[in-house]
Amino acid sequence: MAAVLMLRGSARLLYKHRRVHAASIAMVCSRAMASKTPVGFIGLGNMGNPMAKNLVKHGYPVVAYDVFPEAGKEFQDSGAQVMDSPAEVAEKADRIITMLPSSLNAVEVYTGANGILKKVKKGSLLIDSSTIDPAVSKELAKAVEKMGAVFMDAPVSGGVGAARAGNLTFMVGGVEQEFDAAKELLTCMGSNVIYCGEVGTGQAAKICNNMLLAISMIGTAEAMNLGIRFGLDPKLLAKILNMSSGRCWSSDTYNPVPGVMEGVPSANNYQGGFGTTLMAKDLGLAQITATNTKTPVPLGSLAHQIYRIMCAKGYALKDFSAVFQFLREEENL
């Protein structure tokens, strides 16, 4: 009798093991199948273009859209599907990433007449990697939730170089239970994917980062300009700064002085990279947030004014590191 009970117990354990094993296989297969389903990508600009390409490199079929048709031609030539509207992207894909210039663009892409929400499927995952007002992210999340879908904000840091290399940092805000699903896609485009909290916290982290970046870039440009006018060789000065306490990303990775580094916008007449007008926009978002939270940001405010003046003086389309050129040319600042 004991032997019979033992055999029955073993049979139950074996059956249970098989059920668990079968469930695991089903889950793996489900994830594998999900990975092969199309991913929508809206916004194929300086950042969005290489980000979408990295998804393609990782084997994801991409369904793309950009307001400028010529931006999608490159993807069409490589076999990717290019749609005529955000709504058509939502019809084809239940995982969509958006990379847009401003809050207004984001609102239009999601809620406009031909926006994502016109055709979004229930259960879809919508990830916005634009840098926009945290309050707008929260409003979009509410609108998406009403349609039975999920919205997460996931702005990026690292610039065009990191976007090409797939080394971006993503700051993610949204429902924590959905973070792993978002991370699956984001790790194809970035080396750091960090969960920040509820919707809007990703934007808050990005705004803080860009305010500091703007301040440090202006400081680097001022220090380099002062040293050069003192007679120091710019490469020598950069070398000294980068082995001293003044070292920062703006000095050692993205130096604003032409001839100091290769492969950065300052080596290409400040073309490409992160535009001055976008930095001015992000600093404006920081000012709004600072006002709403009653936070003093005197250097952030000054940086905002400097980049706004640059936009008015013809630097709007140049990389934000052109602040060095601006300081050299504007004697009466």
Compute φ and ψ for 156, nearest 5 degrees.
Answer: -120, 160
| CA angle (200, 204, 207) in 5-degree steps | 135
Residue 63 CA to residue 46 CA, distance in Å, equals 18
Q: Is 121 marked active-site?
A: no
Three-state DSSP at 104 gives helix
Helices (H), the chain: 2-36, 48-57, 69-77, 86-92, 103-111, 134-146, 159-165, 179-186, 201-229, 234-242, 249-252, 276-292, 298-310, 323-329
Report yes or no: 73 and 81 within 8 Å, Cβ to Cβ: no
For residue 224, which amino acid is it? M
Q: Which of 206, 281, 313, 318 is catalytic?
A: 206
Residue 260 CA to residue 251 CA, distance in Å, equals 10
Residue 320 CA to residue 312 CA, distance in Å, equals 14
CA dihedral 182, 188, 194, 198 (to 10 degrees): -20
DSSP tag of 315:
I
Q: Quick one: tokens of 293?
A: 């939270």
Residue 118 CA to residue 164 CA, distance in Å, equals 32
Q: What residues contact 263, with CB distance under 8 A and at least 6 apart?
A: 161
Active site residues: 206
